[in-house]
Structure 1
Amino acid sequence: MNGRVCVWINHGQAAREPGKGEITMPDGNRGMDGIPADGQSLKPEELLLKPGRIVHCQTGRMRPSLRRQQIRGGQGVPLRFRPVSMAERSNLWRVTALVYEPLWRKYSTGILTRGAWSLREECDIVTEMLKPVRGASYLDLGCSTGVYSRAVLEREQESGMILVDYSLPMLERARMKTRSDARVVYLQCDAAALPLPANSMDGAVMGGTLNELSEPEQVLSELARVLKKGATAVIMHLVRTGSPALLTRMLSPGGVWIPDEKDADVLFQSAGFDLADSRRAGVMRISRLRAP
């Protein structure tokens, strides 16, 4: 395992295999509040006691066609998350994780903002909006290789970070790039079914993931659930400006959707967030949201 500590967790009753040091749990349905139906969840303060781990959570999901049945009291059918779009599937490739920062992230900010911001300036805006504090616990949702997490830790070294992504190659790359003494845990799970308690996180960042999600409403609702009341979420996302641009037409077939600013605000509000502030350059917008 090359020194990497991996913990496997499913929702349900925990069981430890003799001599293996890996926690496994059988599948289970989730309650309507997003926590596993048996009440078990991963507490941030306990996760951060042993930083550096990659925790694998095989969460049970409801088929979309059965959600109404679930609301009416039906059992539904648990379904592990499966990437739908090309954008979601490509993030599972190891080569994507390898080239994400040097070939895309290093240049994308300048391209998307038409030269107005660099990646460094983008990260500075994000951390200034978040204003991380000593000892607080923050979520990096759809973290990829952990660009925003490293920026948060650079500003406040004593912050705790929980990096969430469904892509193991991305999490492994993030772990390699993050300093070894940081209070950081890596959580491989479905962002639309977070195995965290409600009202447990002090804040969150998300960089570009929103535009690649096949279920953005569900992911934002989950984010609102796990954040403490009034907590700050800072989300970088792309917005359409004027008539659909060439970039929009190029990205749409791969599953990347780009709403206009009004539609993005409606999406945030439907999940319960208040828009506190935003900054935009080109098609890139950074929104500071307040959790309900």
Structure 2
Amino acid sequence: MNEDKTTHFGYQEVPVAEKARHVGSVFDSVADRYDLMNDLMSAGMHRLWKRRAIAQAMLSKGQDVLDLAGGTGDLARLALDKVGDDGHVVLSDINAAMLQRGRDRFINEGIDSQASYVRCDAEFLPFPDGSFDRVTIGFGLRNVTNKDRALAEMRRVLRPGGRAIILEFSHVQVAALRPFYDLYSFRVMPIMGKLIVDDPDSYRYLAESIRVHPDAQTLSNMMENAGFEDCGYNLLTAGVVAIHHGWVY
């Protein structure tokens, strides 16, 4: 992608250099009630999806984990339980408001000493090569402007034997369900966004961003092109979400 071209922001086309700002405004708007909206929109299913993702990370005691686009810290919190006192988790996000929510949560739970907090862009990670045993990202890759570059960075910071886990919305596989999923996404979610956070546009963007995100097989191919090996994915909830994995050898 040339930097003078445009990219998707939902169904809109915006200059590449401006997408991060647009995405940032979305999460600034919803940060205070982000967790509540996740529970309501998914009927709590997002918690099950995240637990499945961490299970597929195959974490062990003492490992170092980088959680990208970690927001309020759901995946990082689950990872901390797996790596134990001798392990370490870096909670990172490009959005300061979201990262602050995650840090506050860890402080309130008394586990902040086991974690670090880094505000960074997934496309330009401020870590040396081979810094981590695992990299996770949950529902964040579709908001990244240059996904290929972000995948390459994830590959770069993993040690040999490391694994990347990507939890992301995908494409519904059951044709009969698609009209109902579209109705819920484009009509119900913006109404909920209006009622709960007074921001229907951010949740309309959410629905649109899912539709323009690569399908599961395309994303798996992108991981292979970035240098990951033994890539694969599992579709959950009729394909609403996918958990992708790739190894570094």
Residues 1:251 and 1:92: Cα distance change in structure 2 (over 3 Å): closer
Alignment of 1:85-164 (within 5 A): 88-93=23-28, 95-103=29-37, 105-110=38-43, 118-158=45-85, 159-164=87-92
> Among 198, 220, 229, which residue is 1:265 paired with?
220
Alignment of 1:17-28 (within 5 A): none
* RMSD over aligned Cα atoms: 2.9
What does the per-residue CA deviation read over 1:226-283, in whole Å, with 9 as the maximum and x for residues that have no partner?
0112311111111123577624895478655322222121221121123145242231
Q: Is 1:64 aligned with 2:12?
A: no
**Where does the alignment leave 5 or more consecutive residues of structure 1 unmatched?**
1-62, 66-80, 111-116
SS state at 1:288 partner? strand
Amino acid at match of 1:151: L
Residues 1:143 and 1:269: Cα distance change in structure 2 (over 3 Å): same
Count matched residues: 208
> Residue 50 of structure 2 contacts residue 167 of structure 2 at CA under 8 Å; is this kept in 1?
no
**Where does the alignment leave 5 or more consecutive residues of structure 2 unmatched?**
5-15, 188-203
- 2-structure distance, mates of 1:279, 1:260: 11
Partner in structure 2 of residue 76 of structure 1: none
What displacement does 1:193 show?
0.6
SS state at 2:166 partner? strand
> Residue 135 of structure 1 contacts residue 160 of structure 1 at CA under 8 Å; is this kept in 2?
yes
Amino acid at match of 1:180: G
> Residue 87 of structure 1 contacts residue 255 of structure 1 at CA under 8 Å; is this kept in 2?
no
SS state at 1:231 partner? strand
- 1-structure distance, mates of 2:81, 2:150: 27
SS state at 1:133 partner? coil
What does the per-residue CA deviation read over 1:33-86, in whole Å, with 9 as the maximum and x for residues that have no partner?
xxxxxxxxxxxxxxxxxxxxxxxxxxxxxx835xxxxxxxxxxxxxxx965167
**Which of structure 1's runs of 4+ aligned residues deviate more than 6 A?**
none
Q: Which has the higher helix share?
A: 2
What displacement does 1:102 show?
1.1
> Among 166, 180, 187, which residue is 2:110 paired with?
180
Identity of aligned residues (%): 22
Residues 1:91 and 1:156: Cα distance change in structure 2 (over 3 Å): farther
Structure number with greater Rg is 1
SS state at 2:60 partner? coil
Residues 1:215 and 1:138: Cα distance change in structure 2 (over 3 Å): same
Q: Is 1:280 aligned with 2:236?
A: yes
> Residue 63 of structure 2 contacts residue 133 of structure 2 at CA under 8 Å; is this kept in 1?
yes
Residues 1:128 and 1:278: Cα distance change in structure 2 (over 3 Å): same
Amino acid at match of 2:36: P
Alignment of 1:159-170 (within 5 A): 159-170=87-98
What does the per-residue CA deviation read over 1:112-156, in whole Å, with 9 as the maximum and x for residues that have no partner?
xxxxx8233223212211122222110001111111001112334
Residues 1:108 and 1:286: Cα distance change in structure 2 (over 3 Å): farther
TM (norm. structure 1) is 0.63
Partner in structure 2 of residue 47 of structure 1: none
- 2-structure distance, mates of 1:109, 1:253: 13
Residues 1:180 and 1:147: Cα distance change in structure 2 (over 3 Å): same
- 1-structure distance, mates of 2:22, 2:208: 6
TM (norm. structure 2) is 0.73
Partner in structure 2 of residue 171 of structure 1: 99
- 2-structure distance, mates of 1:100, 1:213: 19
Q: Which has the higher contact order (CA 8 A, sep 6+)?
A: 2
Partner in structure 1 of residue 9 of structure 2: none
- 2-structure distance, mates of 1:83, 1:167: 15
> Residue 51 of structure 2 contacts residue 78 of structure 2 at CA under 8 Å; is this kept in 1?
yes
Alignment of 1:192-231 (within 5 A): 192-231=123-162
